[in-house]
Structure 1
Amino acid sequence: MTVDDLDAKALAGRLATAATAATAAPEATGEPAPDGRTWARGDYSVIARLLVGLGGDLVRAAGVTPVHRVLDVAAGSGNAAIAAAELDADVTASDLTPKLIERGRREAAARGVSMEWLQADAELLPFPDDDFDVVLSCIGAMFAPDQAAVARELLRVCRPGGTVALANWTAGGAMGRLFALLERYAPTRPEGALAPTDWGDPDHVRALFGDRVARLETHRRTARLDFTGSPAEWCALYRACFAPVVETYERLGTDPKLLAALDDDLLRFAAGEYLGPLGGPGRYEFEYLLVLAEPAA
């Protein structure tokens, strides 16, 4: 999907709304926001629509069929969940952020699929043991702070012999480099704490799941975002819509030197990652780790 595939007026309106919401957010405190509040910033559903193919890829890798009961954890606006529902699976999408759940409900309705939406924390899922055949998380559960708790919950709610399928950004890919850039300006975790992109390390995932899995596969894949705008327009999009970028600018307050430096670094990043002739059409490529795990009996 490209930016041209989106309704131009609708996208412009969302950018304006998101930018207004970002500037109207609570006054910066210099402290990272709780996870749910972070992802309420901007409008991540705009970014998700540009990466909509990633959700479908994850669903196909998980082997979802109409007979499956499926849970999408940290579903955001539902890229993976909606793709699973379009296969007539019995789907529940959970997320910590009400704003994203509402966006997902609208998108599901627009695409004519029926599914359940529920606010839930990936670290403490409100479901019985062995409740689902397939548990998905597409660039979602990786952002929860307690990684051990998330790993435990993903496996707990999936039946033995089922499939836990994850797509996680890697530290060495473009999104990992973006997160490292933002972390230099406004650190969000204590020194030595685990990074979300640790979920993109196969050895780390194996350690998290341990002997609770009967089978574990990891594959490095690339998500492609076709983009016909300039790197500067990419920066404007992410500054308005992508919660980690929105929060970083917010936490810098009104310091003109820091804001200008971040502007420059973000543009340099966008130009460096842009593949294709300036002026388009071009693309961005983001490496992720596909994880397929089978819970042990």
Structure 2
Amino acid sequence: MRTMNTAAEEQDLSELKDKLKATWTAGDYGLIARGLERSAREFLDRIGIRPGENVLDVACGTGQLAIPAARQGARVTGLDIAENWIAQARSRADADGLEVRFDVGDAEDMPYEDGAFDLVVSMIGAMFAPRPARVAAEMLRVCRPGGRIVMANWTPEGFVGDFFKTVARYVPPPPMPSPLMWGDETEVKARLSDGVADLRLTRSILRFHYPMPPSEVAAHYFEHFGPTKRASAALGREGQAALNAELEALWAANNLASDGTTQVDAEILEVVAARE
């Protein structure tokens, strides 16, 4: 009976991961990520990349951290479960003449040796894997003793927390722990309690910059952002219109720009863990 339960759980997990992958790869995340390019560079500046450092970017997307880290002289590897994002990241690195290794792989089962990296970093990426304990264990495993694990995670109380809560009112989220709990200090302390010599948690801001007004940003997300694109596909015409109106209002209410563009501050929890 125990074996049958384990097999069933593995099947459920496999199906969940397939659904998550389908959600995130819908649309074109590379276009969405452009709105955070400036914030990604600022986040890297706060981390302090060292030339020659072995860096792993977990759930690297289309390379918004990995590529600028390589420009700063680090030896960078990027890992993501989405083949199409990895293809975009490789093309971007090649266009810039940068040597970056990009691998297709799972943040919960990374294909690297123990202690392979000086710095393991994830900006709003690893937080979306379905089993946070496994992600934490894997980041700790591949980080060398004395190395660093650094994350930027959306908080439940911030703009992105409100964004996902709005979508969830129309389409239920998948059956997994909320990714936003990676933005909760108490939860992060519990997840990174073993194998960490020092843990520093700081609330900070990532700013979205889009060269169009909030109404067009909302439409941009419906077309290119996997979760809203999939939510829209699951709704009827009235539901689509209602969700779009709520998201447009959310972007507009938080917009700091007055020149026809959109600039929105979204709270993150910056996590800096020193590996024992």
* Partner residue, 1:225: 208
Amino-acid identity (%): 38
Match of 1:101 in 2: 86
Post-superposition shift, 1:231? 1.4
CA distance, structure 2, for counterparts of residue 178 and residue 74 of structure 1: 21
Match of 1:264 in 2: 245
* Partners of 1:37 and 1:238 in 2: CA distance: 16
Cα-to-partner distance string for 1:84-133 (whole Å, 9 max, x where unaligned): 11112111101000000011111112222111010010011111111100
Match of 1:207 among 190, 204, 207: 190
TM-score, structure 1 normalization: 0.84
CA distance in 1, matches of 2:207, 2:201: 19
Q: Give 1:32 shift.
A: 9.2
Alignment correspondent of 2:57: 72
Aligned to 2:12: none
Deviations 1:259-297 (A, max 9, x none): 2221221222122121233x524411111111111111x
| Cα separation, 1, equivalents of 2:222 and 2:261 | 21
Q: Secondary structure, in 3 states, of the residue corresponding to 1:263?
A: helix
Contact residue 214 and residue 261 of structure 2 kept, 8 A? no
Q: Which secondary structure does the structure 2 equivalent of 1:164 belong to?
A: strand
Q: Which residue of 2 aligns with 1:118?
A: 103
Q: Where does residue 216 of structure 1 map in the other structure?
A: 199
Further displaced range: 224-233 or 155-164? 224-233
Match of 1:20 in 2: none
* CA distance in 2 between partners of 1:145 and 1:61 (Å): 28
TM-score by length of 2: 0.90
2:145 maps to 1:153? no
Which residue identity lines up with residue 69 of structure 2 in the other structure?
A: A
Distance between the aligned counterparts of 1:266 and 1:32, measured in 2?
Answer: 26
User: Which residue in the other structure is 1:249 paired with?
Assistant: 232
CA RMSD of aligned residues (A): 1.6
- State the aligned residue count: 261
Task: Answer yes or no: is the 8 Å Cα contact 1:55–1:81 preserved in 2.
Answer: no
Q: Give the superposition deviation at 1:160.
A: 1.0
Which residue is 2:118 aligned to?
133
Gap runs ≥5 in structure 1: 1-30
- Gap regions ≥5 residues in structure 2: 1-15
* Corresponding residue for residue 235 of structure 1: 218
Equivalence for 1:291:
271
Q: Which residue of 2 aligns with 1:81?
A: 66
Paired position in structure 2 for 1:90: 75
